[in-house]
């Protein structure tokens, strides 16, 4: 498989901290896969994502995108946060097209791109609504569309679905999987939910720094599993992951 992201001996220590949040961590993300990341609260999941996204700079080591160091945020890396970080004074269309406007794209190109994304996240009928009037699930759809607007090579999700109810979360899972299949992108998903990690990940990265292993990546035979097919083998696989975390 072709590597799109390479994390090499990554160490990150926050100013004033007694110990590193990330310590000599190595990780490869393959082009076109969905990698999910699971681990206990405080293990460094979000720090890892923010370092890959270029928001944080490593204390030592490096992160590469297509073989080139990531030195800061750029349009090739899209991020969807848990709180969606939308602009409440803008409507749905303007939120989605905001990044393209800041990059000085032609108005007609912005409108065309936004229209396509509205269809893809099934919000065409909400294009003129202000985001504060939308449900939590709809706001996350807008956030996903905004992250996709720049046509990034990698889209990262930082516990983006944790605040949603189960029904809405399953609906968003299907949106994410449909987008991944149709756009042929690479997705990197941080989650605290083991079932979500299993459903969405081609591979699963387990962070266990307190056990002396910064991160361990396993293949996932249950990717996009139908809930009706959950059986004893699935539960054993899930429990094996849980035992490595706790």
The per-residue pLDDT for 189 is 97
Closest by Cα among 184, 192, 127, 134 to 2: 184
Distance (Å, rounded) from C-alpha 185 to C-alpha 32? 5
The third-level CATH classification (topology) of the domain covering 3-245 is Rossmann fold (3.40.50)
Cα separation, 202 vs 207, whole angstroms = 16
Q: What is the 3-state secondary structure (H, E, C) of 82-131?
A: CCCCCCCCCEHHHHHHHHHHHCCCCHHHHHHHHHHHHHHCCCHHHCCCEH
What phi and psi values does residue 3 have, to the nearest 5 degrees? -80, 135
Mean predicted lDDT score pLDDT of the chain: 93
Q: Order of strands, edge to edge, in the sheet holding 68-69?
A: 22-30, 3-12, 60-65, 68-69
Q: How many whole angstroms separate alpha carbon 158 and alpha carbon 224? A: 19
Q: Provide the token pair at 193.
A: 């939910």
Confidence of residue 156 (pLDDT cuts 50, 70, 90): very high
pLDDT at 239 exceeding the cut of 90: yes
Would you tell me how many other CB atoms lie within 10 Å of the CB of residue 104? 7
For the chain, which residues make up each domain, given as ranges? 3-245
Reply yes or no on whether the pLDDT at 211 is more than 80. Answer: no
Residues 223-238: tens digit of each pLDDT: 998 888 899 999 999 9
pLDDT of residue 210: 81
pLDDT band at 111 (very low <50, low <70, confident <90, very high): very high
Q: What is the pLDDT of residues 9-25, one digit of tens each?
A: 999 999 999 999 999 99
Q: What is the mean pLDDT of residues 114-130?
A: 94
pLDDT score of 200 more than 80: yes
């Amino acid at each position: 498989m072709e590597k799109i992201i390479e994390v090499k001996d990554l160490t990150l220590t926050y100013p004033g901290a007694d110990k590193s949040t990330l310590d000599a961590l190595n990780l490869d993300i393959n082009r076109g896969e969905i990698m999910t990341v699971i681990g206990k609260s405080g293990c460094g999941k979000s720090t890892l994502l923010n370092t890959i996204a270029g928001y944080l700079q490593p204390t030592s080591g490096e992160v590469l995108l297509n073989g080139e160091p990531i030195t800061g945020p750029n349009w090739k890396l899209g991020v969807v946060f848990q709180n969606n970080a939308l602009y409440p004074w803008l409507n749905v269309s303007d939120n989605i097209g905001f990044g393209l406007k800041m990059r000085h794209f032609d108005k007609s190109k912005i409108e065309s791109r936004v229209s396509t994304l509205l269809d893809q996240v099934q919000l065409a009928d909400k294009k003129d609504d202000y985001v504060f009037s939308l449900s939590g699930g709809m706001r996350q759809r807008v956030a996903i569309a905004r992250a996709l607007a720049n046509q990034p090579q990698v889209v990262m999700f930082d516990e983006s679905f944790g605040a949603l109810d189960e029904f809405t979360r399953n609906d968003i899972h299907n949106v994410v999987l449909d987008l991944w299949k149709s756009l042929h992108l690479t997705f990197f998903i941080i989650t605290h939910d083991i079932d979500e990690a299993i459903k969405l990940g081609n591979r699963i990265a387990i962070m266990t720094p307190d056990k002396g292993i910064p991160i361990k990546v396993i293949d996932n035979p249950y990717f996009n599993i139908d809930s009706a097919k959950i059986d004893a083998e699935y539960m054993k696989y899930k429990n094996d992951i849980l035992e490595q975390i706790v």
